[in-house]
Structure 1
């Protein structure tokens, strides 16, 4: 494919939405020690203040959370989490520095946890420290390597934790970089697994979004996958994924516009470049409005057809959040 696979958004959203499940899957010992009944709090702005001067290479996620322990102490501690997407020589040192900076800020214990999502089998940082003149200072931190799950794919398919599926998607994406047909087959198998788990609608949509963003497909295979999903949802009587506009669920308003523009440009070549772009944007907007609000009236279709590029772009910006068609077209 032309663009490299980039997981920042889906990893971050999956961790935020299913943080206890994330800790349970990758760090089960830590999960058992946390009192989840007390809740947890993300402190992203505070983390930014601490790590703003650091260069960590390709990070998928960096999070700071405040959690309570189950040891009877009733104290709150801090969990610093990194999902690192590339091998980086200074990574362990940075974990050491962050851990100390966070302790210095809060004067509370800080647990630093790392998920290594890179493709270098021998890169396994899990400690950093120094000893000088009888003084020793060291941080040892749990580090999970996603490549280590490569030979456990059968178990991952059986594991009901959402991050078993996310891990599978990561491994299968890496394994199918050069074979889009194989990626299509792997992605379709994971999509079917979503509906077999008995998860609620929102969880299916959330995890489909992760799969869809990770396991990118060429346009033709993408259309085939969406056809399969439509058939599956009809059979299972579950209007989950197809009830949400494809453009929105892909976080792809822009991508949808580009797809529509490509069609519009093909149709509008004889009518000039600007006309083709307008047709493309009108096509993308029409699809989005139909998914959100149902069949469009002749008046609305005519309005889309006659609109300028500026008007279409304004309506596209409103279309994902508006409560009604009137809200889209409000003056």
Structure 2
């Protein structure tokens, strides 16, 4: 489990657990991330020679503590015909001196690897909910001379227009769609667009990678079972084949939540001796589009029993 620091009212920091799914997404889809947000940089890199390096433990002279870099990648820079380092640092909360920390991380990497890698490229991913311009430049100068100019790449997810990504077949776009800029009225439309992106991606991605994308996306989508059921019915009505594909994807997505709800309802009915409640629940979910086979597998009963209770 990774930890991040949150600043409290007194100005001190406390460690809180942070989901590893976001970092795993970048590890798995590094090339896709670069292509999506930094296409000009992507054309300079040869991703056939990319490998993830072990976490670097750096001493932060500002906070006087050790910090692990979130993601350090070795890849090939075409024009130099040499391997370089790419440091990616996700930032999910506001930190006034973050640009200074990025410089410290860069300087530590330069100190250690300057004879091994001719180039180090730092990238920050800002995923905080508030929309604002993040500082990505650190300068020092005197009237007669520039002393320092440090500039790192950045992507601010909330400042991205979600509509610009919905036709993309890039898995990172689907995973991070819910973190991009949209208003409350557009929530349902964003969710629908996300599901359609998943339908396209499932053609070329294996189950494990698809599940990873969904696990990241569900960190940011507000759960709403009724809304999702309505969206699924709409997709199924428009295109029955798409609806069938969605149902097959459910084990990696919200189906687990639906099935848990079904099971809880069934168990509660059994505990209270309310057989009728069991019938009603099965009938309800059959009406929502779940197949007898899916309910039988979830409830660990036979298809014949599901059909019998569903008819009653």
| TM-score class normalised by the smaller sequence | 0.5 to 0.7
- Normalising by the residue count of structure 2, what TM-score does the alignment of the two structures yield? 0.64
Structure 2 Cα separation of the partners of residues 231 and 126 of structure 1: 47
| Alignment correspondent of 2:284 | none
- Tell me the distance in 1 between the aligned counterparts of 2:259 and 2:37: 38
1:110 paired residue number: 120
Q: How many pairs align?
A: 258
SS in 1 for 2:43: helix
Partner of 1:3: none
Determine helix, strand or coil for the equivalent of 1:189: helix
CA shift for structure 1 position 265: 6.7
| Contact 2:73/2:87, CA 8 A, preserved across alignment | yes
2:265 is matched with 263
Q: Give the counterpart of 1:92 among 99, 109, 114.
A: 99
TM-score (norm: length of structure 1): 0.61
Change (3 A) 1:261 1:155: closer
Deviation readout 1:53-110 (Å, 9 max, x if unpaired): 988xxxxx93111111101x43211111123222210110110011111222222332
Q: Is the 8 A contact 2:22 2:216 kept in 1?
A: yes
Residue 188 (structure 1) aligned with residue 192 (structure 2): yes
Correspondence for 2:43 among 19, 32, 50: 32
Q: How does 1:271-310 map to 2 (within 5 A)?
A: 290=297
Q: Match for 1:214 among 213, 220, 241?
A: 220
1:316 corresponds in structure 2 to none
Other structure's SS at 1:98 match: helix
Distance change >3 Å, CA 296–CA 232, structure 1 → 2: farther
Does the 8 Å contact 1:7/1:214 carry over to 2? no
Deviations 1:239-294 (A, max 9, x none): 4x533563x546x97x67974675367436658xxxxxxxxxxxxxxx89936xx9
- In 2: Cα distance, 1:223 partner to 1:198 partner: 20
Alpha-carbon offset, residue 23 of structure 1: 0.4
Change beyond 3 A, Cα 1:93–1:260:
farther
SS at match of 1:200: coil
Residues 1:50 and 2:58 are matched in the alignment: yes
Any conservation in 1 of the 2:90–2:126 contact (CA below 8 Å)? yes
How far apart, CA to CA, are the structure 2 residues paired with 1:221 and 1:260? 17
2:168 alignment partner in structure 1:
159
Query: Which whole-Å deviations, capped at 9, do the CAs of 1:163-196 have from their partners, x for residues lacking one?
Result: 3434533226x633xx6xx533431232123334
RMSD over aligned CA atoms reads 4.3
In 2, Cα distance between the equivalents of 1:34 and 1:242? Answer: 38
Residues 267 and 183 of structure 1: CA distance in aligned 2, closer, same or farther (over 3 Å) = farther
Q: Distance in 1 between matches of 2:30 and 2:238?
A: 29
**2:248 equivalent in structure 1:** 243
Partner of 2:160, secondary structure, is helix
CA shift at 1:19, angstroms? 1.1
